[in-house]
Amino acid sequence: MKIEQLGPPGADHSTGLILYWRDRLLFALLPASQWHESSAGTVACVAGIGGHLEAGESWAQAVRREAREEAGVDVTLRSPAETWLLRDDGTVQDITTSLEWLAPPPRPLFIWTAQFGPPPDGRSRYFVNAVFDAVLAGDVEPHPAAEMPAILALTEAQLHEMSERPTSLEKLLSEGAIFWERLSIPRTTLIAPWGTALWYHVWRQSRLRAAD
């Protein structure tokens, strides 16, 4: 099975990072055009740093380029022992031996496939997203760039909390989250995971259940 066979013809091929920095995970805050209003207030989403492949790029080349463009950093990709497939029907499948990975190493940590549009526009496009495990040296700090207004460093526990219910930026910062702003973000803004950040939570929960 090739990665291109995981989605229909014309599917969007994109990349994401599970990026470790010190004892936290780094995620990018999506542009304000993708925020939405809820009964509790304004909700902004964080997602994995990454983006679409350009012509002639490998998956790893694309995600490294996106890290430079969105966060101003060079990341080190790590080779996982396993590769997982996550689908929007809730399926979490080990595809380590069945995935024919022709691109140069490393392989992705997981691949998520889903049909949706940019929040909150609903379901419209099909995505095949290869997510890589990566690390950033602890003495290096990201600098949000491109269209990303900010980057947020979160603990696993904070990501879990946000996945259960959007959490205010003020509360996250009071609990030790670290925030780099390119644009000023109101501290009352509610933060929720999207894309790779949300799929990482799904994958982590599935592995914890399997370990019980």
Q: Any idea what the CATH number is for the domain that residue 94 is in? A: 3.90.79.10
pLDDT tens-digit series, residues 90-147: 899 999 999 998 777 899 999 999 886 655 555 568 899 999 999 999 899 999 988 8
Is the peptide bond between 193 and the residue preceding it cis, with omega within 30 degrees of 0? no
Match 């109101």 to its residue by tokens.
186
**b or e along 186-206 (b: 16 or more beta carbons within 10 Å of the residue's beta carbon)?**
eeebbbbbbbbbbbbbbbeeb
**What share of the chain has pLDDT > 90, as a percent?**
79
pLDDT tens-digit series, residues 24-40: 999 999 999 999 999 99
pLDDT at 98: 95
The count of domains in the chain is 1
Residue 5 forms part of a structural domain: no
Residues of the domain holding 153: 13-211
The single-letter DSSP state of residue 53 is P
Residue 166 forms part of a structural domain: yes
Q: What is the helix (H) or strand (E) element at residue 197, kind and residue range?
A: helix 196-211
Q: Give the pLDDT band of residue 171 (cuts 50, 70, 90).
A: very high
41: left (phi over 0), alpha (psi -120 to 50) or beta: left
Residue 92 forms part of a structural domain: yes
Residue 75 forms part of a structural domain: yes
Residue 2 forms part of a structural domain: no
Residue 4 forms part of a structural domain: no
Residue 182 forms part of a structural domain: yes
**CA 4/CA 73 separation, integer angstroms:** 28
Residue 80 forms part of a structural domain: yes
Number of alpha helices (DSSP H) and beta strands (DSSP E) in the chain:
4, 13
pLDDT at 118: 57
